[in-house]
Structure 1
Amino acid sequence: MNTDPRPDRLDELLALEATQGLNPGEVTELDALLAALPNEDPDSLERAAAAIHLALSGPPEPLPAHLAERLELAAAAFIPAAPAPARPSRSRPAWAIWAGWAVAACLAGVLVYTQWPEDLAGKRDRLVKDAVAKAEKFAGEKAGATGEVVWSAAKQEGYLEVRGLPPLDPTREQYQLWIVDGGRAKKEPVDGGVFDVQPDGTILVRVRNPIPVKDAKAFAVTKETVGGVVVSDGPMLLVLTPKQG
């Protein structure tokens, strides 16, 4: 009967390394165990974790554009604040590094999908109640689709909510928001960012104006290629004008 506890501890440390990483003390302990047990395969659990992830994840799908920024911030939370000590004897293979990022991205994606709408709704409500922001409302309706924008010129902050827009193929098309700025010498509208709608045709997104908007007169929604365009030739699916009252 094998009473040597070292193999069990080795398996435990390898499992931790494959799923969440090790602290410096655990790294030192793992190196010592690997030196004492040269016949053990140090990468077996990482390969298993990667295989399980690939089997469950299926073909990769594009992430909706309106989640991109939050995904970056959420994914960053899964990266250790400081790198673990270098271990020349155990460099991680490329597939293992990819698997770690993929798992982090999946977890971050779950975080984004579960928190994003509520977070934005709260920010929009606070903007409406902010006396300094002096937020204005814009609304419009066309062919069964409706939209509303809350916009603050003072804070250069705004939120678009739409309902009734048909979902698009995210590999080919996206909706794009435009801002008609009466304070610009150029007549072209300002890009307000691209977005995708949920299966029920709704979405709440933040306005992403790359330049300051001096005097918002209206907002419009068009359908464009993935990533958006600089100048739109497409028809306006929604036009949102100042809402009275």
Structure 2
Amino acid sequence: MSGHHRQGITSSTLTDLVDRARRLIVPGERRLLGIAGPPGVGKSTLAAALCGELGADAVRVPLDGFHLANEVLADLGLTSRKGAPETFDASGFRALLIRLRAQDEPIVYAPEFHREIEQAVSGALPIPRDAPLIVVEGNYLLLNSGPWQGIRDLLDDVWYLTLADDTRLDRLIHRHQLHGRSAVDAKAWTFGNDERNAAVVEASAIRADLVVSLSPNASGEASSGNPEES
């Protein structure tokens, strides 16, 4: 695992990042690659693209699968803060990473967050023991307080994604509207809750191995405008 030395912001294409991820793969071993960054920056899209390029060698595991259920958030009075660090089962996420590093089970099942129902679904992502690279993506991989402490140390390499704020915020507003919020509510949630969370995420960027601004390569495949990007 890395020494957590932050580099300057690097402009990288998808091809560059696939090459870096491929260098982590060692047959018979298990490595965990983390992709962190604020809401809307494109973590899910990059993780999916990496796994698509690397095939059976890589499996994606999203932190979003550890969102607390809406009913639990309501009981805790946290509905208005959904997406904040305290609205995740961070200890459960850490336990999953420990199981994945151990690589001593034939298959491990991870949960996945479904935006269409705004809930996590358990057992949705099968991770076979022989997959050498796990691509872990989420906002809070680099946090070092409370139940998040120690999570970064379970990751071999962590990339922190950056994106121009206007583009990132536009994506978030669009995403919230796609999932039922009015234009006014989508903007209010983006500039309120999402931006409070983004500030927490950005403060943790110093613990990343690579801070990257994703630039389009020749095919443009690195520059998706997909509003589902996290």
On whether the aligned pair clears a TM of 0.5, the verdict is no
- Larger proportion of helix: 2
If the length of structure 2 is used for normalisation, what is the TM-score? Answer: 0.26
Q: Higher Cα Rg: structure 1 or 2? A: 1
If the length of structure 1 is used for normalisation, what is the TM-score? Answer: 0.25
Q: Give the structure, 1 or 2, with the largest relative contact order (CA under 8 Å, sep 6 or more).
A: 2
